[in-house]
Amino acid sequence: MEMNVTDLACTRGGMRVLEGVSFDVPSGRALVLRGPNGIGKTTLLRTLAGLQPADAGSVTPGPEAIAYASHADGNKAVLTVAENLTFWARLHGTSDIRPALRDFNLEALETRPAGSLSAGQKRRLGLARMAVTGRPIWLFDEPTVSLDTDSVALFAAAVDRHLGAGGSAIVATHIDLGLEGETLELAPFRAEAPEDHHDAFHEAFL
């Protein structure tokens, strides 16, 4: 599904961080977000996912077409890998978790409680969740943290398959995943620092 973002502005903790962000992600393509720490990659992704309102601008389609993978995976430690995935699948109205388990090499871990997995395995489970949402646009925030080289390749292959099936993806990452698509550098969209308002109220304390 195609995604259009026009003139988007977003805020973090009351501070405008990004302004005038515009891009298109056509079906079957990925967009890689780049920029230094604190530029607002996470804020942009959260805004696109509908977790916080945009200050200005428009995003189509809305959050109902978007699946979002944040830094945290949302796995429940006492539930098994299969139970965790089945829950997200049923919540999104899908039922088949087999392809997701296969794509992220979790089949051997299926009956293990998520709490007993290694950091990389937990991450893979968190990423496999995206495959069971059945949503066309995937947003990833630093998806490769704590993944080894093989798992990064697995992840890239899974996203590639998703793109091949007509989906699209936006990935904030610092490494090269070899995905089909553009790269967007966020630094030019950094919001102007607010002017110092030395108004009467402040001056009273100076």
Partner 1 sequence: MIALLKRDLALSVRAGGGFGLALAFFLIVVTLTPFAVGPDSGTLSPIAAGILWLGALLSCLLSLDRILALDFEDGALELLATAPIPLEGVATVKALAHWLTTGLPLTLAAPALGVLLNLPEPGFKWLTLSLAIGTPALSVIGTFGAALTVGLKRGGLLLSLIVLPLYVPTLIFGAEVARRGAQGMPLETPLALLGGITLATLALLPFASAAAIRINLR
Interacting residue ranges for partner 1, rule: CB under 8 A: 49-53, 63-64, 66-68, 70-79, 83, 87-88, 90-93, 129
Between 38 and 178, CB nearer to partner 1: 38
**Residue 12 Cβ, how far from partner 1 at the closest point, in Å?**
9
Q: Of 54 and 147, which has the nearer Cβ to partner 1?
A: 54
In the bound state with partner 1, the residue whose beta carbon lies nearer, of 71 and 161, is 71
Smallest separation (angstroms) from partner 1 to the CB of 202: 27
Q: Least distance to partner 1 from the beta carbon of 74, Å?
A: 4
Three-state secondary structure string covering the chain = CCEEEEEEEEEECCEEEEEEEEEEECCCCEEEEECCCCCCHHHHHHHHCCCCCCCEEEEECCHHHEEEECCCCCCCCCCEHHHHHHHHHHHCCCCCCHHHHHHCCCHHHCCCEHHHCCHHHHHHHHHHHHHHHCCCEEEEECCCCCCCHHHHHHHHHHHHHHHHCCCEEEEECCCCCCCCEEEEECHHHECCCCCCCCCHHHHCCC
User: Toward partner 1, which CB reaches closer, 70 or 105?
Assistant: 70
- In whole angstroms, the minimum distance from the beta carbon of 62 to partner 1 comes to 11
Asked whether 45 and 170 are in contact (CB, 8 A), the reply is yes
Q: Give the C-alpha separation, 80 to 84, whole Å.
A: 6
- For partner 1, the closer CB: 53 or 194: 53
We find the least distance from the C-beta atom of residue 15 to partner 1, in angstroms, to be: 13
Cα distance between residue 196 and residue 85, in whole Å: 49
Between residues 4 and 52, which has the closer beta carbon with respect to partner 1?
52
Q: How far is the CB of 131 from partner 1 (least distance, A)?
A: 14
